[in-house]
């Protein structure tokens, strides 16, 4: 009997052809499907280079991208591990193979273990080998040679089940893994090695022999059972002058004698070797397929709620839920481990590079939550934002993010409380959410106050020094060399000076460069802190004797009112943040020219303080659905919305891959705008959407029966006092009158060409008749739907119908989308358009100061910025006493200020405080810490 030869070369060629065809087919539906392998080679061993050439050739035939990372022999282990980590974090690489052996000073185990499990296409990592060894284990990848052995047996029709198999060799690379595979195929397996007693007798009983002992021609034909199948894995070199290389490759089996006994046998070369390389290619393709499948199989696993009635306090509800670890929240929505920077167990920052990785995705649906004109108790925008997101993600199986602002410690310790939502629709852990979070507001405070100090310092030094000494101190010699700092080149460019050698400036150029000549009367930059401290609204600085009489009056704002916060909210990248911070205008010179942060030279330093703050913060809702918490611009004088970057990241994470069905799989981003639609919503469109280029797919307007009764003539509501009876009992007539406020907000939202859904935030005192009144009024005003929701008491389950209505609304076309005004209009015209069309005013009246400021901004080249009007949130007008939908009033504009870095002008209507005060009984009275557990108590 002469054994038939198992032609591994032919089988491997067929496999490579199938792989190439598979890749081609998948690329038709997803052109980004490009399997990629990176081979790590250390040193210049000739045998390693030979194997690598084989792999490169096979990859080319299989249409797989294959790159070599070559490192010198003397690379340290730490350096090599760092390079492998970099490859692990490259999403375009699907397989990493470390070509063995590595130099003796490097641990083979450490290097192979460093390769990420999902890129370990060699299958040598601890996780893959461990899973392979377990009964019923599920390794991501099977080592290539053992896998090739099994494919050879399958392709040649060898029945494995119930057969006796002997594996000769116990290496971690071949012997042990192939024994696991044979056992999993229901063979009875014996593992032998060179010291096994009675080896020949054991081999005589074997139906299948796998030889991987590393000894040339060790197994003889008379050791084999008649008709056995022999798989020779040996790779031994023997001198042979007839070969060009001077040696030939032989196996562990004496081929000639074995072929006389065996039924089938693999030759060496031409047997297992080509299959090893083919299996490597297959593993790379499997890895790429798994990666792309994973991008489409994202799923949020919601946390169950244990509802109680009556609903406990917000902090008690939050405490009763055990959150997911933040890396689990990230994993479920497709954020890679290297893209998450955990800050403790339950919050973390997300790297902006994720935007580059997901730039190919179609955005998810964009939902803006705004409200009607609220009462001092608030109408539940944040709660609705969270509840809607919980319903979409936790109940309707859509990827959904709630995007909210970071709350200031001002209201947290003041009268309003936190901004985490409430009841069973809130962000957790709510104490971490409402306190320091990840320190973004502290970074903004530091940046703002650094600039304030820089302004004062520059003014002081300019007033006490002549041009020459001032210039020499600004640009000092260091080791005999005088150089401009990079930020100084920006000022030179602005002045039209194209010189870069500090010694070449003329006296006039030195004067122009060194002297900002700030007019103190025009200074607008104030210091900030994140506390409601009314006594800092007006202060005097510079009273110490060392300041030589340079005292002036100024004041503090709350940190979230800083322009640095608005810049953070509107920046689209770190580079954009740097540019915006640099162009912030802090004053005018005596000649009337704007003085910027970069003129002072502080733009780079401010960016350094805020470089981590620009990364959005990831948290979760009570039901474990994802939340981005980022930026907290003051809603009265700024945009009152979370950041552009958080929205962009969320829209990509909730988006769809090129080969996904959009309507079925698209996710959602639910973001809110501060106060009512006519304030927050109008700014969202005209300022934030201009900066981001994004357009909401629908607007949700939150309404309550309680607030609409106020607008129908009901008595004032005071925080802490019992609600008057009209708000606790049914009163349809007052409610109908108040619906004019809802009607106006719907009309305002629809004027942008975006569909509107009304969320009726249901309270226990609301009756069915009252809900129906609101619903009818909303539909008559043009809303797509008006849907009651009880998410405060029921969590996501209470907002399922609202979520379904939002899904339907976001599918509607928006052919008539338009912004309220163009930037070519004058500043006065833009402010008048907002006042008349949004508020219902008959006219807008500018004070002498406001008009003077407008003229200055236009002269300085800032006349084409969008407008933010700072006014009361308690009326559509500037007057909180005017309820409902007033008409015919005149909006008084007492001042117009500029936020050039943020990119807008803000007009102050009536008197708006930029740092609130504390009430008689502030919230901090109830806050304490349990010394045993460290838990915060008494909050909200």
Mean pLDDT, each 10-residue run in order, the chain (940 residues): 90 95 94 96 83 91 95 96 97 95 93 95 91 91 96 95 96 92 95 91 96 94 95 89 80 94 95 95 97 95 96 91 97 97 97 96 98 93 97 97 91 69 94 92 98 96 95 93 95 95 96 96 94 89 88 91 97 98 97 97 98 98 98 90 98 96 95 94 97 97 98 90 93 97 98 97 96 98 98 98 98 91 95 97 96 95 95 94 96 95 93 78 78 79
CATH number at residue 216: 3.40.50.720
Distance CA 284, CA 95 (A): 5
- The domain tally of the chain equals 4
The answer to whether 372 and 707 are in contact (CB under 8 A) is yes
Residue 318 lies in a domain: yes
pLDDT for residue 418: 62
Q: Are 43 and 73 in contact (CB under 8 A)?
A: yes
Domain that holds residue 847: 827-908
Q: Are 819 and 685 in contact (CB under 8 A)?
A: yes
pLDDT of residue 146: 96
**Structure tokens, 173:** 């690379």
In a domain, 241, yes or no: yes
**Same domain (yes/no): 834, 805:** no
Catalytic residue among 99, 390, 406, 873: 99
In a domain, 940, yes or no: no
Phi, psi of 424 (to 5 degrees): -95, 20
Give the integer Cα–Cα distance in Å for 271 and 265. 9
Indicate the burial class of 391 (C-beta count within 10 angstroms; 0-12, 13-18, 19 or more).
buried
Would you call 125 exposed, middle or buried from its count of C-beta atoms within 10 A (0-12, 13-18, 19+)?
buried
CATH number at residue 832: 3.10.410.10
Task: Tell me whether residue 654 is in a domain.
Answer: yes
Residue 205 annotated as catalytic = no
Q: Which residues, in sequence order, are CB contacts of 489 under 8 Å at separation 6+?
A: 500
Gap between the Cα atoms of 67 and 56, Å rounded: 8
Q: What is the C-alpha to C-alpha distance for residues 349 and 343, in angstroms, rounded to an integer?
A: 7
Residues 788 and 831 reside in one and the same domain: no
Q: Give the separation between CA 646 and CA 506, rounded to whole angstroms.
A: 48
99 is catalytic: yes
**SS3 assignment for 323-359:** CCCHHHHHHHCCCCHHHEEECCCCCEEECCCHHHHCC
pLDDT at position 299, please? 95
Q: Give ∠ CA 431-434-435 in degrees, rounded to 5.
A: 85
Contact predicate 623/510, CB 8 Å: no
743 is a catalytic site residue: no
Please classify residue 836 by burial: count the beta carbons closer than 10 Å to its beta carbon, then call 0-12 exposed, 13-18 middle and 19+ buried: middle
30, 659 in Cβ contact below 8 A? yes
Are 274 and 404 within one domain? no
Q: How far is residue 284's CA from residue 302's CA, in Å, rounded to a whole number?
A: 33
Of 118, 120, 122, 599, the catalytic one is: 122
Residues paired with 909 in a beta bridge: 893
Q: Are residues 337 and 407 in the same domain?
A: yes
d(CA 583, CA 594): 10
Q: What pLDDT shows up at residue 410?
A: 74
* 143, 184 contact by CB (below 8 A): no
Q: Are strands 164-168 and 208-211 parallel, antiparallel or unpaired?
A: parallel
Number of helices (H), then strands (E), belonging to the chain: the values are 35, 37
Please tell me whether the peptide bond between 211 and the residue prior to it is cis, using omega within 30 degrees of 0. Answer: no
Q: How confident is the model at residue 47, as a pLDDT?
A: 72
Pinpoint the alpha helices (H) of 465-533.
Answer: 467-474, 486-494, 507-514
Residues 6+ apart with CB under 8 A from 243: none
Residue 354 sits in the same domain as residue 235: no
Question: In a 3-state reduction of DSSP, which class is residue 263?
Answer: coil
Q: Answer whether 689's CB lies under 8 Å from 394's CB.
A: no
710 three-state secondary structure: helix
The answer to whether position 747 is within a domain reads yes
Q: How many CB atoms lie within 10 A of CB 551?
A: 11
Q: How far is residue 235's CA from residue 251's CA, in Å, rounded to a whole number?
A: 5
Q: How far apart are CA 470 and CA 483, in angstroms?
A: 15
pTM for the model stands at 0.93
**CB of 919 closer than 8 Å to CB of 409:** no
Whether 68 is covered by a domain: the verdict is yes
Give the pLDDT confidence score for residue 414 in this predicted structure: 73
- The CATH number of the domain holding residue 505 is 3.30.1510.10
Distances, alpha carbon 120 to alpha carbons 91, 198, 771, in Å: 14, 37, 59
Q: Is residue 837 domain-shared with residue 692, that is, in the same domain? A: no
Query: How many angstroms separate the CA atoms of 567 and 579, rounded?
Result: 10
The pair of structure tokens assigned to 99 is: 């070509």
Which of 26, 41, 55, 114 is catalytic? The answer is 55
Q: What angle do CA 702, 685, 361 make, to 5 degrees?
A: 95
The size of the chain, in residues, is: 940
Closest CA to 725 of 765, 770, 771, 769: 765
- Domain edge (last residue) among 567, 583, 610: 610
Which backbone phi and psi does 22 adopt, to 5 degrees?
A: -60, -45
Query: Does residue 477 have a cis peptide bond before it, meaning omega lies within 30 degrees of 0?
Result: no
Q: Name the H helices within 517-573.
A: 563-570
Q: Of 268, 287, 306, which marks where a domain is finished?
A: 287
Is residue 297 assigned to a domain?
no
Closest CA to 925 of 414, 575, 557: 414
Question: What is the C-alpha separation between 97 and 119, in angstroms, rounded?
Answer: 8
Find the CATH number of the domain harbouring 643. 3.40.50.300
Residue with structure tokens 């008048």?
A: 832
User: Are both 778 and 896 inside the same structural domain?
Assistant: no
Spatial contact of 174 and 234, defined as CB atoms under 8 Å apart: no
Query: Residue 298: inside a domain, yes or no?
Result: no
Domain identity same for 594 and 622: no
Q: Are residues 159 and 214 in the same domain?
A: yes
Which DSSP letter does residue 24 get?
H
E strands of 266-346, at which residues?
340-342
DSSP assignments along 838-904, one per residue: II--SEEEE-HHHHHHHHHHHHHT-TT--EEEE--SSSSSS-TT--SS--S-EEEEEEEEEETTTTE
The packing angle between helices 732-750 and 768-780, to 10°, is: 30
End-to-end Cα spacing for the chain: 88
What pLDDT is recorded for position 581?
98
Radius of gyration of the chain (CA): 35
Cα diameter, the chain: 112
- Are residues 639 and 757 both part of a single domain? yes
pLDDT of residue 684: 97
Same domain membership, residue 263 and residue 393: no
Of 763, 782, 811, the last residue of a domain is 811
Is 550 found in the same domain as 469?
A: yes
């Amino acid at each position: 009997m002469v054994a038939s030869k198992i032609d591994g070369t032919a089988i491997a060629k067929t496999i490579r052809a199938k792989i190439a065809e598979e890749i081609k087919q998948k690329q038709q539906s997803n052109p980004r499907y490009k399997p990629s392998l990176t081979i790590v080679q250390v040193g210049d061993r000739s045998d390693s280079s030979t194997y690598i050439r084989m792999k490169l050739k096979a990859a080319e035939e299989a249409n797989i991208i294959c790159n070599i990372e070559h490192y010198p022999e003397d690379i340290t282990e730490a350096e090599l591990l760092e390079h492998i980590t970099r490859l692990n974090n490259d999403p375009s690489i699907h397989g990493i193979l470390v070509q063995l052996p590595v130099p003796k000073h490097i641990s083979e185990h450490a290097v192979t273990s460093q390769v990420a499990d999902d890129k370990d296409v060699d299958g040598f990592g601890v996780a893959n080998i461990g899973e392979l060894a377990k009964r019923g284990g599920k390794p991501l990848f099977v080592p290539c040679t053992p896998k090739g052995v099994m494919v050879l047996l399958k392709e040649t029709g060898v029945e494995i089940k119930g057969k006796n198999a002997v594996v000769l060799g116990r290496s971690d690379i071949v012997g042990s893994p192939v024994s696991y595979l044979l056992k999993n195929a229901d063979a009875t397996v014996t593992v032998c090695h060179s010291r096994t007693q009675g080896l020949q007798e054991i081999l005589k009983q074997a139906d299948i022999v796998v030889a991987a002992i590393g000894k040339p021609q060790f197994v003889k034909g008379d050791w084999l059972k008649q008709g056995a199948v022999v798989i020779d894995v040996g790779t031994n070199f023997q001198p042979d002058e007839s070969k060009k290389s001077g040696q030939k490759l032989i196996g562990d089996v004496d081929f000639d004698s074995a072929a006389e006994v065996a039924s089938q046998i693999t030759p060496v070369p031409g047997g297992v070797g080509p299959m090893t390389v083919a299996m490597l290619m297959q593993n790379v393709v499997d890895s790429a397929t798994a990666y792309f499948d994973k991008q489409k199989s994202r799923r949020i696993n919601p946390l169950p709620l244990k509802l109680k009635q009556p609903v406990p306090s917000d902090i008690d509800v939050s405490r009763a839920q055990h959150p997911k670890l933040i890396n689990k929240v990230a994993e479920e929505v497709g954020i890679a481990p290297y893209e998450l920077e955990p800050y403790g167990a339950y919050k973390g920052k997300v790297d902006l590079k994720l935007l580059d990785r997901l730039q190919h995705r179609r955005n998810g649906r964009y939902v803006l939550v705004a409200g009607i004109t609220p009462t001092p108790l608030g109408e539940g925008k944040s709660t609705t934002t969270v509840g809607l997101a919980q319903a979409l993600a936790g109940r309707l199986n859509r990827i959904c993010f709630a995007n909210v602002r970071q709350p200031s410690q001002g209201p947290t310790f003041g009268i309003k409380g936190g901004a985490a939502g409430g009841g069973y629709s809130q962000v957790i852990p709510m104490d971490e959410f409402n306190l320091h979070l990840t320190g973004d507001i502290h970074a903004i405070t530091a940046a703002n106050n650094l600039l304030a100090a820089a302004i004062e310092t520059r003014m002081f030094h300019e007033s006490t020094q002549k041009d020459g000494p001032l210039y020499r101190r600004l640009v000092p010699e260091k080791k005999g060399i005088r150089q401009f700092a990079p930020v100084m080149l920006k000022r030179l460019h602005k002045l039209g000076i194209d010189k870069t050698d500090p010694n070449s400036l003329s006296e006039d150029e030195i004067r122009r460069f060194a002297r900002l000549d700030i007019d103190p009367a025009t200074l607008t930059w104030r210091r900030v802190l994140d506390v409601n401290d009314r006594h800092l609204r007006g202060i005097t600085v510079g009273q110490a004797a060392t300041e030589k009489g340079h005292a002036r009056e100024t004041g503090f704002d709350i940190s979230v009112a800083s322009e640095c916060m608005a810049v953070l909210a509107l920046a689209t990248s770190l580079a954009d943040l740097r540019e915006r911070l640099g162009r912030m205008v802090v004053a005018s010179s005596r000649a009337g020219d704007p003085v910027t942060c970069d003129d002072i030279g502080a733009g780079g330093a401010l960016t350094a303080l805020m470089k981590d703050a620009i990364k959005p913060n990831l948290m979760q809702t009570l039901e474990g659905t994802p939340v981005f918490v980022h930026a907290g611009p003051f809603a009265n004088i700024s945009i009152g919305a979370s950041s552009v970057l958080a929205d962009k990241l969320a829209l990509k994470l909730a988006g769809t891959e090129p080969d996904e069905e959009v309507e079925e799989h698209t996710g959602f981003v639910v973001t809110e705008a501060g106060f009512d639609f006519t304030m927050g919503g109008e700014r969202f469109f005209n300022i934030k959407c201009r900066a981001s280029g994004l357009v909401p797919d629908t607007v949700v307007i939150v309404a309550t029966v309680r607030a609409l009764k106020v607008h129908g003539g009901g008595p004032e509501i005071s925080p802490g006092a019992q609600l008057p009876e009209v708000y606790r009992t049914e009163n349809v007539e007052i409610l109908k009158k108040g619906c004019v406020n809802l009607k106006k907000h719907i009309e305002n939202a629809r004027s942008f060409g975006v569909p509107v859904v009304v969320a009726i935030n249901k309270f226990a005192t609301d009756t069915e008749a009252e809900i129906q009144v609101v619903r009818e009024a909303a539909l008559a005003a043009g809303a797509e739907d008006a849907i009651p929701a009880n998410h405060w008491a029921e969590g996501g389950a209470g907002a399922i119908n609202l979520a379904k209505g939002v899904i339907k609304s976001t599918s509607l076309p928006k052919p008539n989308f338009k912004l309220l005004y163009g930037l070519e209009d004058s500043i006065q015209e833009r402010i008048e358009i907002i006042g008349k069309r949004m508020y219902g005013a008959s006219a807008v009246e500018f004070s002498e100061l406001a008009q003077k400021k407008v003229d200055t901004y236009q002269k300085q080249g800032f006349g084409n910025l969008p407008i933010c009007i700072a006014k009361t949130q308690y009326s559509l007008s500037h007057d909180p006493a005017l309820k409902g939908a007033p008409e015919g009033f005149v909006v008084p504009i007492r001042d117009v200020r500029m936020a050039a870095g943020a990119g807008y002008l803000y007009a102050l209507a009536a008197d708006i405080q930029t740092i609130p005060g504390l009430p008689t009984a502030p919230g901090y009275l109830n806050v304490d810490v349990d010394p045993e557990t460290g838990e915060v108590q008494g909050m909200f």
